[in-house]
Structure 1
Amino acid sequence: MKERGTPGVSTVKSWGVDPRLVQFEPGFNRPINREHVESIKTSLRAGHELDDIKVRIEEGAIIAVDGHHRVTAAVEWLAEPGVREPDGGFQLGAKQFRGGDAERVIHLITSSQGLGLTPLERSAQYRKLVGWGWTPAAIAEAVGRSVQNVSDALVLADANSDVKLAVTEKQISASNAAKIVRQSGGRAGAVIAEHVEAARLQGKAKATAKQIAGNTPKDLVSAIRREMDSGGTFRAEELCPSFADLITYLRSTPSRGDTSPAQQTK
């Protein structure tokens, strides 16, 4: 509460809103995490007060900007049998958000309330900003991350589904996956699967940077032999791009009935 005349103290206006009146805007809300919703419902059942949500008002509609999980949990809790609303009805505290579409995306990325975005959810929001003309450097400054981090996320945003699945299942980190996508392009999923399998054989649940480095050929001959052993899922020129023409030539030149470049290096 503000004491009149106290330096450095101001009033932040908020009001109460029935969560059942709050709408979600497609494209500006992250996927709902059921475990997080259930945790909030447990707090509501225990009588705990929730933090204020942030909303914007457009043509009379109340649209959530921050607090989608709190709204979802409150609506579900109110629908449970035996819940008694206070006189005047149950309300969530709400503050009005000021800003346009880009500011709403930045807020979604940086908000410390509730559950943080996953790497892939963050990458989708970065891609949206790029579509509006933002550079990776501008995004990095706005969200408080490095340009490299943003660039890696943008690479993931355009990666194939098998790469995204490996990141989602935490078989590989987002940064390591992005590095492999840069090297292998559309074949990154197969390369990642190879590294994950190698990690599994070593008793590890995740392909780490150290393990990937140890499983990566260091020279042309090793790269060519890896291609032959992989049955085609690995391409030698991905790690030895300066020898791409030579590798292509060796691959297309039969030797004793074998067309693989590995045979040409023996």
Structure 2
Amino acid sequence: MGQINESAPKSQRSEKPAVSLKVMKERGMLGVSTVKSWGVDPRLVQFESGFNRAINREHVESIKCALRAGHELDDIKVRIEEGAIIAVDGHHRVTAAVEWLAEPDVREPDGGFQLGAKQFRGGDAERVIHLITSSQGLGLTPLERSAQYRKLVGWGWTPAAIAEAVGRSVQNVSDALVLADANSDVKLAVTEKQISASNAAKIVRQSGGRAGAVIAEHVEAARLQGKAKATAKQIAGNTPKDLIAAIRREIDSGGTFRAEELCPSFADLITYLRSTPSRGDTSPAQPTK
């Protein structure tokens, strides 16, 4: 039993306890109001390319299980354009409901099955921000988030403005934008969780177009150590052991691989060693290019 609300009018405290929000509203209770929502047949809802994340089948199946058990789903958000109902939030709920309704043993109630829906008001940028920040259902992956950030930048948003709108740091947004412009092999490594998005962005900044190959080296090194993914400590290459392995890799590659790509913190030392004659070599050191 909850405590008595001291902020309620004294006349309400002596009344019979309300059994619904409707009764509370009718009694004029402060803080209780009516919020309008609509009922929409999910089969009428359309999706807009570029404003929805990829459908996760496991998540859809879990929602269908909830529908079969008779559970009510949260309201979706939609917008109306030229007579069409377009989903803004709730794509998985819509997908699950449509598939569930198509099952042969489903009996719809009189008047048909409907999802609760609220109308979303806002432009393209507001819809993107809502997609990024919505806590309903399944969140965006790092790559999906980076694609939405890139879209906002194309509309004139700065990383600082995006960070403020989505509640993240400017560094986080900047890393995501670097990832959005990275090559496909880098994005694949992030998707397969071989490396974190932030570590991948760091390598892209350091190695540019070779980032995918560098990440592959780190992932292989992690695998040999029994680790599932490349770690920040390993990528930093801060130990002499890392340096020795990197130099050996450069020698074995005939110079096509650069040791500082695995050990950036030793870049100055590597440059010095590269310009120093090996033992027994009496020829003068060649200037570095």
TM range (shorter): 0.7 to 0.9
Q: Residue 4 and residue 237 in structure 1: after superposition, are their counterparts in 2 closer, same or farther (change >3 A)? A: same
1:59-70 alignment to 2 at 5 Å? Answer: 59-70=82-93
* 1:214–1:56 distance in 2 versus 1, CA, 3 Å: same
Contact kept? 2:39, 2:116, Cα under 8 Å: yes
Note the residue ranges of structure 1 that are not aligned, 5 or more in a row.
none
Cα separation, partners in 2 of 1:199 and 1:223, compared to 1, 3 Å = closer
Could you say what secondary structure the match of 2:60 adopts? helix
Contact in 2 for aligned 1:163/1:189 (Cα 8 Å): yes
C-alpha deviation, 1:239, in angstroms: 7.4
Distance in 1 (CA, whole Å) between partners of 2:218 and 2:255 is: 15
The residue aligned with 1:176 is: 199
| 1:199 Cα deviation after fit | 0.5
What percentage of residue pairs aligned between the two structures are identical?
Answer: 96
Q: 1:192, 1:81 → 2: CA distance?
A: 49
Runs of at least 4 residues of structure 1 off by over 4 A?
215-226, 230-233, 236-266
1:126 aligned counterpart, secondary structure: helix
1:204-234 deviation digits (Å, cap 9, x = unpaired): 1111111222477799998655422355563
Contact 1:13 1:95 in 2 (8 A): yes
- Structure exhibiting the larger radius of gyration computed from Cα positions: 2
SS at match of 1:2: helix
**1:177-201 deviations in whole A, cap 9, x for unaligned?**
0000000011101000000000000
TM-score (norm: length of structure 1): 0.86
Q: 1:89 to 1:262 in 2, by over 3 A?
A: farther
1:37-57 deviation per Cα after TM superposition (whole angstroms, max 9, x unaligned): 001001001111000000001
Q: Is the 8 A contact 1:54 1:95 kept in 2?
A: yes
Corresponding residue number in structure 2 for 1:73: 96
Counting matched residue pairs gives: 266
Contact 1:223 1:236 survives alignment (8 Å): yes
The structure-2 alpha-carbon separation of the partners of 1:265 and 1:158, relative to structure 1 and needing over 3 Å to count, comes to closer
Change (3 A) 1:90 1:166: same
Q: Which runs of 5+ in 2 are unaligned?
A: 1-23
- Structure 1 position 238, deviation (Å): 5.0
Shift of 1:2: 3.2
**Alpha-carbon offset, residue 12 of structure 1:** 1.3
